[in-house]
Amino acid sequence: MSEPIIPTIDLSSFFKGDEDGQKKAMEVITKAFSEYGFFQIVNHGIPLDLIKEATEQSKLFFDYSDEEKSKIKSFPDAPLPAGYHRQFVPSRDNIEYFLAMTPGSNFNVFPQNLPRFREAFEEMFVQMTKLGVLLESIICDCLGLPTNFLREFNDDRDWDFMVALHYFPASNNSNHGLTEHEDANCVTFVIQDEVGGLQVRKNGEWIPVVPAEGTIVVNLGDVIQVLSNKKFKSATHRVVSTEGRNRFSFAFFHNLKGDKWIEPLPQFTKDIGEPSKYRGFFFKDYQALRVRNKTHPPSRPEDVIHITHYEIDT
């Protein structure tokens, strides 16, 4: 029996206006989002040269000494932990990362001696934002919502953010680059280097997401799972470190404003006679709980906050 794989979807039909190709792509996307929330995309409109440049600049930054990297100012009062951070929890997470919000944000400070890092980062951000808007419309069509529904509901792009990540090699204490979790936002894009290590849980099994040049990983977040009343699933995933090899990646989070009220939409509840599977909440409250998971990790894994915090027992 062949190993299960994550589907790869060609997005070129959405740029060409090829309705036949769009219909076929949406069938695969709907199936993937309904079952486990993950797939990969090609012909997504982001130049390969830009991806390579951003990755190389990221490696240059993370190759600096800890003293140099720590000079990058962080903002404890920012809505997200912008700036440079290192996260090491034995037997769990072992990463360092640089997080920036929408270009022009007052919470962004880039390394002064790497001007191309900022240029590549911000250009990648612009391209990812466009891709996020496209994916929003595709998600709406797959759910049977008006094409612009999410774009109008989620109309503030100032809360989007992107992270350059460096995963340290596996050690005696940990082979986890990042423990299993779901993303809190709407949709996430991941660009991983050739080392790989990203895995998604599908039908109870951990399936490796094999890296390929020019491919971007798409995974659905908790917001869409709640809005769709669990018709679409937030992807459970993790990163497993490799012995003797560093891993570099970018993750772009198509987010939403913190004061948005999130609850299952009537199209998936009262309009069709289905009970709500979640109680409503302000996104900023959930985001604060998720940030606390990282800044003050609970001693017991079962105390980590997930979207199940808002589930309604039925």
Domain edges within the chain? 46-310
- The token duo for 86 is 């290192």
Helix or strand run (H / E) with residue 201: strand 198-202
Which stretches within 161-255 are classed as H helix?
Answer: 222-227
Q: What is the pLDDT of residues 8-50, one digit of tens each?
A: 999 999 999 999 999 999 999 999 999 999 999 999 999 999 9
- Of 58-67, 246-255, 285-294, the poorest mean pLDDT is in 285-294
List phi, psi (to 5°) of 222. Answer: -65, -35
pTM above 0.85, yes or no: yes
Q: What is the pLDDT of residues 124-167, one digit of tens each?
A: 999 999 999 999 999 999 999 999 999 999 888 888 999 999 99
- The two beta strands, 38-42 and 94-101, are unpaired
Mean pLDDT, rounded, for 87-115 = 80
**73: three-class secondary structure by DSSP:** coil
Q: Tell me the C-alpha to C-alpha distance, in Å, between residue 209 and each of 14, 137, 174.
A: 24, 25, 20
In the chain, what are the helix, strand and coil shares in percent, each to the nearest 5?
A: 35, 25, 40
Q: Which residue has the higher pLDDT, 249 or 298?
A: 249
The architecture that CATH gives domain 46-310 is: Sandwich (2.60)
